[in-house]
Chains A and B, each alone.
Chain A
Amino acid sequence: MIAQNVAFGILAAAMVVAALGVVRTNNVVHAALYLVVVLAGGAAQFILLGQEFVAWVQVLVYIGAVIVLFLFGIMLTRAPMHPDESLDNDLKWPAAVTALFLAGVLGSLLIDAFHRTKIDIRQPIRTAAVTNAVFRTYIIPFEVVGVLLLAALVGAVVLARKD
């Protein structure tokens, strides 16, 4: 148990530092790479909770596809390679206050909702359990995801068309 808590602390600290890096850096590619660290930390937290499947889905979809799209978009539009001062402005402190406020609200909400829930992490949750939940209990959201993806792809094509 102690080992898990220590690992959680280290990962959480790394995620916070990287998340600050995302908003602090003046280089868009560096920001995307910091975001990779944050998402990888999230995946590692899922593994600590015994949710292997969710963890690797996070890696596959977010790190392996979404951030790749970000970076690809940056490359395709030939964003400047060197730090861009215009990415910074004077609203640092209001932004920090807002972020802290948001973290406080979301944190207290989550603690209030789940503080009695305990996960037995000695027994990893099986992929089959997650899958059965997706394909039986949450079947409507699952099919809606399909329609959402359809909309996303058609939207991308429409944006890219000439006319």
Chain B
Amino acid sequence: MSHSLLTAAVLVAQILLLLAMSFSIIRMVRGPRAQDRVLALDALYVNAMLLLLTIGIRTGSLLYVEAGLIIALLGFAGTVALSKFLMRGQVIE
């Protein structure tokens, strides 16, 4: 009983996270300016990391946690580089 509850909860959570990802993709496509798109990309990778964690809970594999850690690291680097580019017009000075 409680296990079917857990499976249903994980499924609902995955659907919610997919909706959240599609909202950030809509914001990224719609803009209106470059900083909105960068912000939407930031939200998108955080939501993707949360989705990976739920997949990890459903499959019972710790590998997905490592993948989430890598997404968090690379997303940080990407957002910082993009904001630097918006500020100065170049990434490395």
Answer yes or no: do A and B interact.
Answer: no
- A-to-B contact residues, CB < 8 Å: none
- B-to-A contact residues, CB < 8 Å: none
